Amino acid sequence: MKIKHKLSIPFNEIFHGINLSNQEKEFIQQKIETVIVKKDDILFKQGDIIDHQYYVYDGCLRTYHIDENGKEHTLQFAIKHWWISDYIAYFGDKKSVLFVECIRDAQLFKINKENFEAIYQFSPKIEALFRQKLEKALVRNEKRILANLTNSAKERYLAFLKKYPLIEKSIKNYHIASYLGITTESLSRIRKEIASDH
């Protein structure tokens, strides 16, 4: 993982929905770092202290947990315009219980908690924007929990394709299976069923 010199921040993407003044942009520019990660790099691991959030400008990352039996459980794939962190650790001031792995070369923008708070203080409209983002993320998370409890594996796979239409071919089958909570054999069977339906 490398932190490069500051690149031009895509304000219209990161802060989509609000207009920022030049003064606000200058303030934010001082608070954000650019991070370049390569495929197979680990952004952070279980046990790390987490006080940063990352905005994915380009590339793809995977958040996963390893249980006591050594089994991986994929929670999320983060693609362009997504935010990623271990929010259990970030908001709870605890050590990370997750790993974040780069599965496609990525450019990220990194903001720590102290700098986020400074940005909120400097610009309340940004705080309002991110509160709305957090509310939407909570809704999406509850919907996913309900879907995992009530939908079939095939329905979960079709939902995955809809949610991540551009990354299926660039990630490993066991990553997808882990995200869906099924085996790679079940994933292969579902794909064959879908192919035979068309």
CATH label of the domain that carries residue 108? 2.60.120.10
Number of domains into which the chain is organized: 1
User: What was the pLDDT predicted at 117?
Assistant: 96
Q: Where are the beta strands (DSSP E) in the chain?
A: 2-4, 33-37, 42-44, 52-66, 72-78, 83-84, 99-112
Average pLDDT rounded to a whole number, residues 122-143: 92
Q: Measure the CA–CA gap between 174 and 51, rounded to whole angstroms.
A: 29
Looking at the domain assignment, is residue 168 inside a domain? no
The pLDDT-based confidence of 7 (bands split at 50, 70, 90) is: low
Q: What average pLDDT does the segment 76-94 reach?
A: 91
Which of the four pLDDT bands, split at 50, 70 and 90, describes residue 96? Answer: very high
pLDDT of residue 1: 59
179 within a domain of the structure (yes/no): no
Residue 193 located in a structural domain = no
- Please check whether residue 171 is in contact with residue 77, taking contact to mean a CB–CB distance below 8 angstroms: yes
Dihedral sign of CA atoms 118, 119, 125, 126 in order: negative
pTM for this structure?
Answer: 0.89
**Mean pLDDT over residues 97-126, rounded?**
95
**185 domain-assigned:** no
- For residue 2, pLDDT beyond 60: no
